Structure 1
């Protein structure tokens, strides 16, 4: 059985790097003082999404601080694959910086577009419309690999599935806000993956 301490230390590094980026940009966006409503997302959906996220955080911190209680969810992954998860996790913190620095003060945690929002089409948004979700998916996959914990993996899939379900509503609100400009942007970019040949 491998020594888990290097993987726990790696997980802390990935969490600290990623959270430093996301907290900074969320605070910058919040400086506008604009109140963001959950009504358009739907209170029930918002609650379910946040509960899935809570399970993900509990299982992640459980792996870190209460390993004996979460050993039942261990996956028998080879160490080399877990180290790939570590490398991918560190890379994701850089990708998160690129994504959120490009998005700037447009950032919200719901489908609502800020009153002063501008359509972002540079940085990773040049190729895909939702690089934040792509980065989150890569980050969750890397954490699943480095922790070798299926509970983290399952709760990650639940969060990502809910975000994917929510995305069409988010895009409809962007169409309502930016009109033909957003439709043109949709025609040349993929939702989560770049369009081939563009």
Structure 2
């Protein structure tokens, strides 16, 4: 296994390992973290969540396959500089994702959750982004795709990032109904992805 393959494998295992570790920790506290496609929700929300769940789980398999079969699959990128840039982006995305989960504490959920009581978190990374965990996902997906780019990984990157954006829109609708004026005020002061793009993000 090459150095870049080893780096990619460690990052992928760290990203998904942190997600399942958080899920398991919350389960010991009686918290059901995975709410994707579960509960009484609008049909559109359910369709997006189920599609996202299937696609992201498939993406994990595609990423592992792309890393293991790196020297055998058709690669779109041969530049080592660009591939290691991808590794750096994936690592940054993983760190942002883990920090976002830690900041959310026991309010962390995957999917819209109207059944369990949660708090609106606006500190830490959430001062600079309304959705730092999703930003972490996007950077992670982009990075691994750059480092191990082939037709399948590129296709799943497009599908996953598009569905993640649709999921953000659905969750933000729920947050308005759940937290009202408090969330509306927060949304005005904090960008959907990063505060630098506040005007564009808030206008969508």
TM range (shorter): 0.7 to 0.9
173-182 or 147-156, which deviates more = 147-156
| Structure 1: gaps of 5 or more residues | none
Aligned to 2:168: 167
- In structure 1, what is the Cα distance between the partners aligned to 2:5 and 2:25? 30
Name the SS for the 1:110 alignment partner: coil
Q: Hey, what's the Cα distance between the residues in 2 that align with 1:186 and 1:197?
A: 9
1 CA distance for matches of 2:170 and 2:125? 21
Tell me the C-alpha RMSD between the 2 structures. Answer: 2.4
Normalized against structure 1, the TM-score is what?
0.85
Q: What is the DSSP-based 3-state SS (H/G/I as helix, E as strand, rest coil) of the residue aligned with 1:101? A: helix
TM-score, normalised to structure 2, is 0.82
Confirm whether residue 53 of structure 1 aligns to residue 51 of structure 2.
no
Q: Distance in 2 between matches of 1:168 and 1:87?
A: 28
Structure 1 residue 7, shift from structure 2 partner: 1.9
Cross-structure match for 2:73 = 71
Structure 1 residues 41 and 136, CA, compared in 2 at 3 Å: closer, same or farther? farther
Task: State the match for 2:133 in structure 1.
Answer: 132
How many aligned positions are there?
Answer: 193
TM superposition shift of 1:143: 0.3
Correspondence for 2:47: 44
Q: Distance in 2 between matches of 1:9 and 1:187?
A: 42
| Post-superposition offset of 1:109 | 1.6
Of structures 1 and 2, the one with the larger relative CO (CA 8 A, separation 6+) is 1
CA contact (8 A) 1:129 1:186 kept: yes
Deviations 1:72-98 (A, max 9, x none): 3x1133111111112222222222221
Shifted more, 35-44 versus 180-189: the winner is: 35-44
Q: State the 1:142 CA deviation.
A: 0.6
1:18 aligns with 2:19: no
